[in-house]
Amino acid sequence: MCALEVSSSEEMTSAKEGRLSAQTMYEKCIALSRNLWWTWQPDVINLFRDLDPIRWRQLDHNPVALLAEMTPERLEARVSELALHSRINQAYRRLKEYLSQRPLWGRTHAGVLGSKPVAYFSLEYGVHESVPIYSGGLGVLSGDHCKSASDLGVPLVAVGLFYDQGYFKQHLTVDGWQEEEYIDVDVTKLPLDLCTDAEGKPIIITLETRSSRLLVKVWQLRVGRVNIYLLDTDVEGNSPEDRELTSRLYGGDNRTRIRQELVAGVGGVRALRALGIKPGVYHLNEGHSAFAVLEVMRERMVDDGLSFEEARREVRQCTVFTTHTPVPAGHDRFDPGLMEEHLGPLRDALGISHETLMSLGRVDPTRMDEPFCMTVLALKVSRKANAVSALHGRVTRQMWANLYSWRAEDEVPIGHITNGVHIPSWLAWQMKILYDRYFPERWYERMGEPEVWQSIYNVDPGELWETHLTLKNQLMAFVRRRLSRQCRRRNEPDEVIEAARSILDPNALTIGFGRRFATYKRATLILRDPDRLARIVNDPERPVQFIFAGKAHPRDIAGKEYIRAIANLRHDPRFNKRIVFIEDYDINVCRHMIQGVDVWLNTPRRPLEASGTSGQKAILNGALHMSVLDGWWAEAYDGSNGFAIGNGSSHKSEENTDARDAESLYQVLENQVIPEFYDQDSDGLPRRWVLRMMNSISSLAWRFSSHRMVADYVRLAYLPAACGTSSEMSR
């Protein structure tokens, strides 16, 4: 098993000796740093920051790296200087309490999962910026899923890959072209523990392919009560090429891809077994990990003497699948050669022919030229699949209707559970303090309940607005810091660097756009009529400014062109430096943006945004969402809680759709957003705007939280799937 949870040093608090006390403080800080629970505890975050504010920022808010630079003595000196002892003791006690509690919700609603947890498979996890094993929305969703499962006490273990170079860091050249840099992560500076067996030897999983043998080690990452197990092929005994197999997220070609997915899926199931964990439910978050199910079938055949068909039926009962994308390129497809090379040995063990295996990944099993699609496999081996918003559910049922040709479209077994975000991770602490004063006692433990959020109407509008302005000012400071740093790195002239230090107007209406630069997200939609945009941003009475950020996939040239188009607006005198681009979008940049903007802009080409979650983060903090009626917004917008672009229809021609949506975007800005924002009373308070903020918070915050989402998964997916094994468990 893995190393012990937290060191048991709290018994030493009464120690008189100074050295011993230093050791204790140090050990407690280390223990706090090694469970990512701290990432959603504002007081623990502030505690780490206070230890060394400058290094904290330089080290990407990584407490493991920060503490590695400090001796216990230096830490003690700092702790004495700032009188931090009681804060450390308190934080440590709260962590221990959190870990030993079994929360009520999980006990009453997910008790049946007890000793047979949900095994959650995902190829990326976005828990915090200091652990760079995510690229975007899918990863952050997985991270938020784990955090809410932890808070609610849902028995769940997570499985993924450890990328020692993570996803790339983004820099732009002077003329706006994206460059990618991969940085080796130092594992000793991450809160990872190598998993070991009963004798303390590292657990090594073996995977046979037709061409080689892969060795895999397993890391443990703690997220509150949930463990994420991360598989890593950087093991002695592997070929140099295989040692790098898991080094990059979404790196390499299709062969790399299938090998990574073999490791995550089949390797993941073997890792859980080696760790002594017996899942009762398998949850495939995206089709990437669907090979897992084939390995579970093999286990059942060996352990219980089932035939392949029996194993297939049984395993299907306890497997659920979440699909995330209506974009065809988002579905992995492999040709028969790659499949035979990598799945051949497992296929032998299952006793099935190559064609039978291939048919599991084909919409039409008789079509020999159809490649093997991971999404098709996932749909065929799960009892129930779900999309991630109501609209995406409809689109997905249409998309895969031919897999279920004997059923009517509305009887296709694909439902939806709309995505949500982990409120404690995305709510600014200043906002939380405000809510604490007006919301019911212990609201923080009931944040998935609508009644709690009605209290937002009790908040003094002036106070809500002031808190928002505080956060907006913080965003301005952040943008200026980042922009001047970007200019310095590009060796731009001193006056450019200097100008960046005072760029943007803290009083102007500020609109944010941050997300992957996939072209369907249409970051450049606002640029369709540049002169109209210039008139909007330069209105002397009612100025508007835009903050953009986002990465394009390294091979997405069109996406990079979009970045260039936006980033180069800073050279265009028409826009008067009112449109800026922040490099290297990540969880940290996202957090600053969604906490500080007035409006969060979302312009996907409907219906391609399955859900989207960044807008959900923004509304928690009082930003208003202005979005095409796509993804979660199609079911969230009610006319009074944000702004809608377009009327929810789409045109057959992309060109016409884009033209119409752009026109709507300008009109909504000119006729609704700008007038309402600048309709301020003599105290500078925009009363109608603040009411809209309150409508948004009260109607949306609870509904699009990941607590509600995980509760839905328990009710609609996990419990029905676990029923297949309930007779055994209820004994």
Ligand X SMILES: *Cc1c(COP(=O)(O)O)cnc(C)c1O
Q: Does 692 bind ligand X (CB under 6 A)?
A: no
Which residues have C-beta within 8 Å of that of residue 451, sequence separation ≥ 6? 440
Structure tokens at 569: 């607006």
Strands 213-223 and 384-387: unpaired
Give the count of residues interacting with ligand X (CB under 6 A): 12
Please give the structure tokens belonging to residue 620: 């928690």
Q: Can the peptide bond before residue 326 be classed as cis, meaning omega within 30 degrees of 0?
A: no
Q: Does 515 bind ligand X (CB under 6 A)?
A: yes
The pair phi, psi for residue 297, each rounded to 5°, is -60, -45
Q: Cβ 223 to ligand X, closest distance in Å?
A: 16
Candidates 156, 590, 673, 690; binder of ligand X (CB under 6 A) is 590
CB of 136 to ligand X, least distance (A): 4
Q: Which stretch binds ligand X (CB under 6 A): 241-249, 504-512, 579-587, 706-714?
A: 579-587
Q: How far is the CB of 364 from ligand X (least distance, A)?
A: 33
Measured from the CB atom, the residue of 412 and 597 that comes closer to ligand X is 597
The CB-of-628 to ligand X minimum distance in angstroms stands at 12
Phi and psi, residue 120, nearest 5°: -105, 120
Q: Which is nearer to ligand X, 275 or 610 (CB)?
A: 610
* Residue range at the interface with ligand X (CB under 6 A); choices 133-141, 212-220, 398-406, 483-491: 133-141
Closest CA to 632 of 368, 454, 393, 320: 393
Residues 6+ apart with CB under 8 A from 344: 209, 210, 354
Residue from the set 63, 117, 137, 686 that interacts with ligand X by CB under 6 A: 137
DSSP string computed for 363-420: SSTT-TTPPEEHHHHHHHH-SEEEESSHHHHHHHHHHTGGGGTTS-GGGSSEEE----
Is residue 601 close enough to count as binding ligand X by CB under 6 A?
no
Query: Per-residue contact track with ligand X, 610 to 629, x per CB under 6 A?
Result: --xxx--x------------
User: Residue 202 forms beta bridges with which residues?
Assistant: 196
End-to-end CA distance of the chain: 26
166 touches ligand X by CB under 6 A: no
Closer to ligand X at the Cβ: 209 or 627?
627
Task: Using the minimum distance from each CB to ligand X, give the nearer residue, 434 or 590.
Answer: 590
Smallest separation (angstroms) from ligand X to the CB of 164: 20
Q: What's the sign of the alpha-carbon dihedral 378, 383, 388, 392?
A: positive
Tell me if 325 contacts ligand X by CB under 6 A. no
Nearer to ligand X, 514 or 646 (CB): 514
Q: Which is nearer to ligand X, 404 or 520 (CB)?
A: 520
Q: How far is CA 217 from CA 96, 193, 238, 322, in A?
A: 28, 11, 11, 27
Taking CB under 6 A as the binding criterion, the range among 132-140, 438-446, 656-664, 706-714 that sits at the site for ligand X is 132-140
The window from 269-277, 364-372, 534-542, 607-615 that contacts ligand X (CB under 6 A) reads: 607-615
| 322 sits near ligand X (criterion: CB under 6 A) | no
Q: How far is the CB of 669 from ligand X (least distance, A)?
A: 19
CA 378 to CA 289: how far, in whole Å?
9
CB of 587: closest distance to ligand X in angstroms? 5
Separation between Cα atoms, residue 447 and residue 91, nearest integer Å: 22
| Among 75, 118, 587, 628, contact with ligand X (rule: CB under 6 A) | 587
Nearer to ligand X, 439 or 600 (CB): 600
140 binds ligand X (CB under 6 A): yes
Phi, psi of 561 (to 5 degrees): -65, -40
Structure token pair of residue 426: 């995305």
Choose the stretch contacting ligand X; rule: CB under 6 A; options: 35-43, 107-115, 486-494, 609-617.
609-617
Q: Which is nearer to ligand X, 140 or 497 (by Cβ)?
A: 140
Distance separating alpha carbons of residues 586 and 132, to the nearest angstrom: 9
- The distance of closest approach from Cβ of residue 129 to ligand X in the complex, given in angstroms and rounded to an integer, is 8
Q: Is 391 in the site for ligand X (CB under 6 A)?
A: no
**Residue pair 353/340 in contact by the 8 Å Cβ criterion:** no
* Least distance between ligand X and beta carbon 320 (Å): 22
In the block, tokens 């709290």 appear at 10
**Which residue's CB is nearer to ligand X, number 550 or number 724?**
550
Stretch that binds ligand X, among 408-416, 606-614, 654-662, 709-717 (CB under 6 A): 606-614
Helix, strand, coil percentages in the chain from 3-state DSSP, rounded to 5 = 55, 15, 35
Interface with ligand X, residue 607, by CB under 6 A: no
Report residue 181: phi and psi, to 5°: -125, 130
Binding site for ligand X (CB under 6 A): 136-137, 140, 515, 585-587, 590, 612-614, 617
